[in-house]
Amino acid sequence: METTYTKTELLAFVASRMLEDKRSVFVGTGLPMIASMLAQRTFAPNLLIIFEAGGVGPKVPTLPLSVGDSRTFYKAVSASSMHDVMSQAQAGYIDYGFLGAAMIDKYGNLNTTVIGDWEKPKVRLPGSGGANDIGSFCFKNIIIMRQDKNKFLDKLNFITTPGYLDGPEGRKKAGLPEGGPYRVITQFGVYGFDEETKRMKLISLHPGATIEDIKENSSMEIIIPSKVERSPEPTQNDIKILREIDPQGLVIGNE
């Protein structure tokens, strides 16, 4: 039987498959929550979910509205604080981090602060929140964002969250620990980063997406291997669980 899913459900499913059982993940509002909850309810029952407001190890019943929602503490091993969970990241205890961004460059640096000049910006964005901490201290960061020519840039004029900074030795020179951007997930596909150059590299295309889509919606040169895989698709059971997680369609919606 053919599985019917929305584009957002596909993104949530693909993001969930980036995680591992018996690992920890720092989760933000929206799709990261859904992806982590799906992973925990399917192949990663021992995934330790950590919320910025202090919920550690919950079994979240349905989608919280924010990281401070009471559901982020449901059956948790700890109802802690933002200070404690940020300290855990700084101490090297958190494996995965989820991030969003307004802009990204070829080395995985993120901008969520300004569009245009810092002194006279075209748009002032929300800023870092915990994003700089997550990008600096989690070992594998997963970025979920929409892709177009104004978001995928060769170089950013402002870096909110460090990726590999200016290349292979960038994080080391800045005094940051090992780790950094791991995967970037957009409406077209999944990207990783080349081990030698640390430049963004296409890993898989989503169903229906093409190499032309990648090139037409980017202002930077992305490494494109001669052979590119297709992203996995969710099963009917995955879709059922996703809709149980977000029964009101607050994030998943109809698209």
Q: CA–CA distance from 86 to each of 59, 83, 172, 219, 239 (Å)?
A: 21, 5, 21, 34, 32
Q: Strands 96-99 and 140-144, how do they pair? A: parallel
Range of the domain at 95: 7-245
Does 2 qualify as catalytic in the annotation?
A: no
- Asked whether residue 78 is assigned to any structural domain, the reply reads yes
Give the mean pLDDT of 114-132: 84
**pLDDT-above-70 percentage for the chain:** 98
Residue 245 near residue 61, CB atoms below 8 Å: no
Give the mean pLDDT of 63-86: 92
Q: How far apart are CA 180 and CA 223, in angstroms?
A: 18
- Asked whether residue 216 is assigned to any structural domain, the reply reads yes
- Asked whether residue 60 is assigned to any structural domain, the reply reads yes
pLDDT one-digit tens code per residue, 133-186: 999 999 999 999 999 999 999 999 899 999 999 999 999 999 999 899 999 999
Residue 3 — pLDDT band, cuts 50, 70, 90?
A: low
- Would the pLDDT of 1 be above 60? no
**pLDDT-above-90 percentage for the chain:** 82
Neighbours of 213 (CB within 10 A): 17
Q: How far apart are CA 42 and CA 241, in angstroms?
A: 9
Give the pLDDT score at 184: 97
What would the two tokens of residue 115 be?
Answer: 């569009």
Q: Name residues whose C-beta falls within 8 Å of residue 53's C-beta, 6 or more positions apart in sequence.
A: 66, 67, 68, 72, 81, 82
Q: Is residue 121 classed exposed, middle or buried when 0-12, 13-18 and 19+ CB atoms within 10 A define those classes?
A: middle
pLDDT one-digit tens code per residue, 18-67: 999 999 999 988 899 999 999 999 999 999 999 999 999 999 999 999 88
Residue 138 near residue 179, CB atoms below 8 Å: yes
- Asked whether residue 157 is assigned to any structural domain, the reply reads yes
- Asked whether residue 2 is assigned to any structural domain, the reply reads no
The DSSP-derived string for 5-16 is: --HHHHHHHHHH
Helix (H, G, I), strand (E, B) or coil at 33: helix
Give the pLDDT score at 2: 56
Q: How many domains does the chain have?
A: 1
Residue 97 near residue 179, CB atoms below 8 Å: no
Catalytic residue among 2, 9, 20, 52: 52
- Asked whether residue 103 is assigned to any structural domain, the reply reads yes
- Asked whether residue 229 is assigned to any structural domain, the reply reads yes
Residue 24 near residue 96, CB atoms below 8 Å: yes
The CATH code of the domain that includes 136 is 3.40.1080.10
pTM equals: 0.92
Give the pLDDT score at 159: 94
Q: CA–CA distance from 103 to each of 95, 111, 144, 161, 206 (Å)?
A: 23, 5, 11, 11, 21
- Strands (DSSP E) contained in 32-90 are 48-51, 55-56, 78-79
Residue 103 near residue 153, CB atoms below 8 Å: yes
Q: Rounded mean pLDDT of the chain?
A: 93
Give the mean pLDDT of 250-254: 79
